Structure 1
Amino acid sequence: MTRFGVVLIAERATRKQWLDRCRRAEALGYDVIAVPDHLNLLSPFPTAVLAAEATERPRIGTYVLNASFHRPALFARDVTTTAGLLGDRFELGLGTGYVEAEFTAAGLPFDPATRIARLAGLARAVETLPARPPLMIGGHGDRVLRLAARHADVAGFTGAAHRPEYGRTALVTAAALLERVAYLRAAAGARAARMELNVLSKATVLTRDRRAGVESLRRYAPDLTTDELLEVPTLFAGTPAQIAEQVRAGEERFGFSYVTVMDAAMEDFGKVITLLR
């Protein structure tokens, strides 16, 4: 059965606001409530613990921790503490980080080799923990996918490559993403059959005109054609029933049995979850 997650984003929130947001996600049927890791947002570990306190059913995850922000020994302490408090509800997500300005603000190098090395260090640290939570490693490039193949229980696909000409990431075509899934499976070998595949959806638009809907999301993939935008599993557009079909197609074609949406899509995608239960 497909799992559904939502990344809750709070730049500023009172305790009550955060608790209410988490409870709303649970009421909408989300299986995983996840917290991100950015300098302008609330700190991930305390908000994860509070999300668990606010809810009963959903698992609580990090989606995803920026490996460069966490030193292995301190990271091990924080993960062990959080896993101890949340028990089997905690899921740990790791990535390399992708916002260069945050690295500059934190006084950290942004070069790819260093970011990959730090991600690898944290992935190894997880394996030494006495109570190891399920581990997701998310990304797009070869080196991140090889790390996921070696260490992760869940491979998270962003479906977005860094584009220097835009100064940010941009979504790739469905065919390019399918190649990334094949790369992960080949690298994982026998482990691939035991791994869960996750996809991060950038946006959801409820509309009766799918073409117009994806055109409104062109900022996420400036060089894709309208037909290519309609095909990617990283954008959802259409009626709830049409989006439900997109989700089913994504599982059949790519193997995505775990779908995560962003905070802004929580309410709209909740209508899709109802149809898929």
Structure 2
Amino acid sequence: MIRFGVVLITEGCSRNEWMDKCRRAEALGYDVVAVPDHLNLLAPFPCAVLAAEATTRPRIGTYVLNSSFYLPALLARDVATTAQLLGDRLELGLGTGYVKAEFERAGIPFGTASSRADRLESLVKELDAALGESAPPLMIGGHGDRILRLAAQRAQTVSFTGAPYRAEYGRTALVDADALAERVAFVRAEAGGRAPELNLLPKATVITRERRAGLESLRRYAPDLTAEQLMEVPTLLVGTPAQLAEQVQRDSERYGFAYFTVTEAAMEDFGKVIERLR
């Protein structure tokens, strides 16, 4: 069975507004309500606890914590406490962080992709030692070899963004369907005998009857892909709810994705897709 998650944005939320959003996500059928980790937003752990208080069925995730922001012993305490308060509903998502301005604001060296991967690897190792059997399920997201290897070998869920950083654009850009398939094959090879859950984070969801035009409107996310490649890329969901339900099923079968996560902006529209898949 495919799982569906939504990352809710907490900027400027009151208690009641946040709880209402969480309840709406549950009503739409989402299996996971996730909180992000950015300095312009509310802190993730209090929001996670309140999300659990507002709902009964969904699991509560972090999507994803910036590993450079945390000292391992202190993060282990926060994770253990939150997991205990949530009654084992917590799913812990970790990543390397990618917004340089946030590192500068926090007074933390941004470093290189390699140094950020070092921090994540070290954090995962130290959390394992500190939490032991009480550790919640771990998700690690990324695109490059090092992070996906770590995820394949240590995490219960591997999240694919399908969008590496591209220096020529000064930002991330989506890869085509074949490149994403190669990344999935890499994870499976690195996982050995393990079989981690595979998660996909689509970049955009657009409900429209004009699929080709809708995809062209999103070309900024994949400037070097052809129109035909845009039609096939799993990280853009464009079409009618029925077409998107077919795409989710197709991509689940082709790549093995068992868990799809959308951002809050797509929550209502993707809820129409969930309705057709349940």
Report the TM-score, using the length of structure 1 for normalisation: 0.97
Match of 2:30 in 1: 30
- Opposite residue 27 of structure 1, the aligned amino acid is A
User: Aligned equivalents of 1:87 and 1:222: distance in 2?
Assistant: 44
Alignment map for 1:34-183 (pairs within 5 Å) = 34-110=34-110, 111-128=112-129, 129-130=131-132, 131-183=134-186
Once residues 127 and 72 of structure 2 are traced to their aligned partners in structure 1, the CA distance between those partners, rounded to angstroms, is 9
The answer for the alignment partner of 1:184 in structure 2 is: 187
What is the alpha-carbon distance in structure 2 between the residues aligned to residue 126 and residue 248 of structure 1? 35
Q: Helix, strand or coil: the match of 2:88?
A: helix
Residue equivalent to 1:213: 214
Distance in 1 of aligned mates of 2:228 and 2:101: 33
DSSP 3-state at the match of 1:88: coil
The amino acid that maps onto 1:153 is Q
What does 1:227-246 correspond to in 2, within 5 Å? 227-246=228-247
Q: Which moved more, 1:165-174 or 1:18-27?
A: 165-174
How big is the shift at 1:69?
A: 0.7
What is the DSSP-based 3-state SS (H/G/I as helix, E as strand, rest coil) of the residue aligned with 2:135?
Answer: coil
> SS where residue 102 of structure 1 aligns?
helix
Shift in Å, 1:169: 0.7
Listed one character per residue, the Cα deviations across residues 218-243 of structure 1 (whole Å, up to 9, x for unaligned) are 11111111211111111100000000
Mapped partners of 2:88, 2:52: distance in 1: 11
Q: Deviations over 1:236-269 (max 9, x none)?
A: 0000000001100111111001000011000000
- Displacement of 1:126 in angstroms is 2.9
- C-alpha distance in 1, partners of 2:127/2:56? 26
**Counterpart residue identity of residue 58, structure 1:** P
Amino acid paired to 2:152 = A
Aligned alpha-carbon RMSD (Å): 0.9
> So what's the TM-score if we normalise by structure 2?
0.97
> How far apart are 1:202 and its partner, in Å?
1.2
**C-alpha distance in structure 2 between counterparts of 1:126 and 1:31, whole Å:** 25
- TM-fit CA distance, 1:125: 2.5
Q: How many equivalent residue pairs? A: 275
What is the alpha-carbon distance in structure 2 between the residues aligned to residue 226 and residue 85 of structure 1?
48
Amino acid at match of 1:183: F
Q: Whole-Å Cα distance in 2 between the matches of residues 203 and 93 of structure 1?
A: 20
Give, in whole Å, the separation in 2 of the partners of 1:87 and 1:113.
36
Gap runs ≥5 in structure 2: none
Spell out structure 1 runs of 4+ moving beyond 6 A: none
- Give the distance between the partners of 2:54 and 2:17, measured in 1 at CA: 11
